[in-house]
Amino acid sequence: MSDTPAETKPSFRSDVTVELVKHAAGDSDVLWAARVSTAGEHSLEELTKDPERSKGLINFLMRDRHGSPFEHNSMTFFISAPIFVFREFMRHRVGWSYNEESGRYRELQPVFYVPGQDRKLVQQGRPGKYEFVAGTEAQQVLTERALQSSYVQAYEAYQEMLAAGVAREVARAALPVGLFSSMYATCNARSLMHFLGLRTQHEQAKVPSFPQREIEMVGERMEEHWATLMPLTHAAFNMNGRVAP
């Protein structure tokens, strides 16, 4: 790889991307893990049976918070989002594994986050009772202009240092948290449910959550993948107030 910095024009995004790159996850994983307590080695027979016949058991486990059977599965996601999202994300430690691209070992690309038109810009209220409302057209224009200008200036400083031979790990200090990064995140259904309970808002949630919109966008896309893999578990999660068992 060349140490000469590439001349790349900054680009701006308002979305995030979440790709399910591999998984070993299905509703039957919950069933054989739960039934080992009464069926021993015969619990593996659940692998060949239709999990639909045992959705009552899945609901019971969720309702009464018997959590360990929901851990015997795995999902790995490739996520592209602003750095500030990852700094919130990595507060979730139990049941999660992360590997993120490194600004020490590669030249970071100039892709930056700018809120879309639907992103509520104005925070009002007091701590614990904040609400966000739509900004004015003038605030939207200002936000876009100010962020883009700041990003361009920061990346020019980064490129200038690289061109002068400054190490990548030093030059990256000029870059803002609105820069896009990418990572692999691996979890199980139980750890994902805990994440979703805190990082998404939902009409069926018993406990209110107040996530930053950008990490909620990541959570929503992860949930879409998980709901396809484990529809009975996902339905039980919603039915029981979106509280992780």
E strand map for 59-207:
74-82, 96-100, 111-113, 122-124, 131-133, 180-187
Catalytic residue among 172, 199, 221, 242: 199
Q: What does the alpha-carbon distance between residue 49 and residue 227 come to, in Å, rounded to a whole number?
A: 20
Task: Please confirm, yes or no, whether 199 is among the known catalytic residues.
Answer: yes
- What span, in angstroms and rounded, lies between the C-alpha atoms of 225 and 175? 32
Per DSSP, the chain holds a count of helices (H) and strands (E) of 8, 8
Torsion angle, alpha carbons of 171, 176, 178, 183, to 10:
40
Name every residue whose Cβ is closer than 8 Å to that of residue 88 and which is 6 or more positions away in sequence.
Answer: 199, 212, 215
Query: What is the rounded CA–CA span in Å between residue 39 and residue 27?
Result: 18
Tokens of 184: 């692999």
Instruction: Quote the DSSP letter at residue 107.
Output: P
Which of the residues are catalytic? 199
